[in-house]
Amino acid sequence: MKNVLLIMVDQVIASTLQVYGGNCRTPNLVRLAEKGVVFNNAYTTVPLCTPARGSVFTGLYPHKHGLLYNSTHAAYGRPELTNAETMISTPLRRKNYKCCYIGKWHIGENMGPRDYGFEGTSFAGYGLPSNYVEDYDVFLKENGHPGLREVVARDVIASIDMPSVKFPLGEYPLPEEVRGSEIYGGVVDLPSDLTPAGFVAKRTMEKIEEHKDDSFFLTAAFWGPHHPAFPSSEFAGLHKAEEIKEWGNFRDDLEDKPAIQKRYTDSLHKRFNRESWPLWQKVIALHFDFMSMIDAQIGRILDSLEAHGIQDETMIIFTSDHGDSLGCHGGIWDKGPYAYDEVCKVPMIASGPDIAPRASNALISNMDIYSTILEFCGTDIPANVDSVSFLRVAQGTEESCRDAVFSHFYGFDRRGLFLQRGIRMGKYKYVFNPSSIDEFYDLEEDPCELKNRINEGRQELSGLKKRLYVEMKRSEDPYLQFADELMNIREGNREQ
């Protein structure tokens, strides 16, 4: 019997985690890594929730699965996958796997996990518990709490500081200066096990108990550490703000980067653009506290597997949908039209049968999870997917499964459209921005991606452009037609 447990967090900078040498304490991820392989070069397909999650669970680029933007209340774009049969649950259920999904969905606006054959989560869209989710409210009441409307977050950092806010967010008036998306964090007045992270852990443990004698594919999808960061008092203050060192690219002036980056940084979330590093330190410390609380809940899930004696027959994969910024590159907030490693790199740890503990520098896409799970479960991988299995890399029988990894971007729901294609190959990264200046970085010489070398390194740059063009052609990218001219790839000198 083979099981799969996929643990996914929402929006985290991989390099900040303890398991990657960072200062955010994640002892349970370290515990997982001690039994598995840690991928140092894993990337998201898209640094945006809905399209990234769509790719993880279909193995397809966004232009194939159909979700190009964040689906919930988007101003444009499709509300659901183009073809529901592409969901990973389809082939696994044919193989008699029990498919379960707990937590954040955000793969479409109206169809939730149960519409795709998963047990567990009933809601569609983002489903942020602090904005009210019935499943979570029921959970609180089951555990002796009066419910979400009696929850308060204190010491809130927002566009202005506030002593407290009441949940659900959006149901109670906020100061005029504060928009809902500009609440960055606070301390929630709940015990850790009753927070949304505790809800995901508990419901996941219940499914482990229910299906311990079955073959299962179970996803535990946490809402954090995406803002607003709401750790419990047990974890608040775990990381000292004054000890967080300034990012190496915090003072990036963005002068040789796409103009949209500076416009977003100058125009959005202005409090953080006006203030100094000490304010960012407070927010980052709060996010670290939040992630450490999630890590503790991951520990409960790992304990449950061990308590039922099924850890040795279960492949466990930990990852994120995409990264975060948290003030990098001149004070950027959130994700968006940025192909920087902070935003596009993701943590990736895999443990399980025949996987020996080690680190791997292989290039991996988080949409490769799709094919890896199918191969592990003995299910045929559809011929038309863009995903590549990394199972044999994880098991140590192959060094790599890709020569390059690619990223897409289309726009950020209601913040505007911006097309982007990126490639990481070897030590280089090239970003194709058709409506702005392209980007080219040497990640060994310039790991902070401060210097855009787009006018240098012609031979290396040419190779990346050609490889990106080949991938666009192979994947039937709708923006292929003029890409060669816009990238200035000489006619007759393209790889076929």
Angle between helices 277-307 and 196-210 (to 10 degrees): 20
Confidence of residue 1 (pLDDT cuts 50, 70, 90): confident
pLDDT tens digit string along 59-81? Answer: 999 999 999 998 655 567 788 99
Whose tokens are 């913040």? That residue is: 415
pLDDT tens digit string along 268-299? Answer: 888 887 678 999 999 999 999 999 999 999 99
Query: 361 or 336: which carries more pLDDT confidence?
Result: 361
Confidence of residue 496 (pLDDT cuts 50, 70, 90): very low
Query: 124 or 146: which carries more pLDDT confidence?
Result: 146
Q: Is the pLDDT of residue 228 over 70?
A: yes
Give the pLDDT of residue 483: 95
pLDDT tens digit string along 240-272? Answer: 999 999 999 999 999 999 999 999 988 888 888
Cα angle for residues 409, 414, 415 (degrees, 5° grid): 65
Residue 265's SS3 state is: helix
CA-CA-CA-CA torsion sign (379, 2, 351, 360): negative
For the chain, percent of residues with pLDDT exceeding 70: 96
Give the pLDDT of residue 207: 98
The H or E element that residue 155 is part of is strand 152-157
pLDDT tens digit string along 211-227? Answer: 999 999 999 999 999 99
* Phi, psi (deg, nearest 5) at residue 431: -125, 120
Query: 74 or 334: which carries more pLDDT confidence?
Result: 334
Q: Is the pLDDT of residue 366 over 60?
A: yes
Total-model pTM: 0.96
Contact 279, 331 (CB under 8 A): no
Contact 217, 373 (CB under 8 A): yes
Confidence of residue 151 (pLDDT cuts 50, 70, 90): very high
Distance (Å, rounded) from C-alpha 345 to C-alpha 339?
A: 9
Angle between helices 196-210 and 134-142 (to 10 degrees): 80
* Average pLDDT, integer, range 149-167: 92
Give the residue extent of every domain in the chain: 3-425
Report the CATH superfamily, name and number, of domain 3-425: Alkaline Phosphatase, subunit A (3.40.720.10)
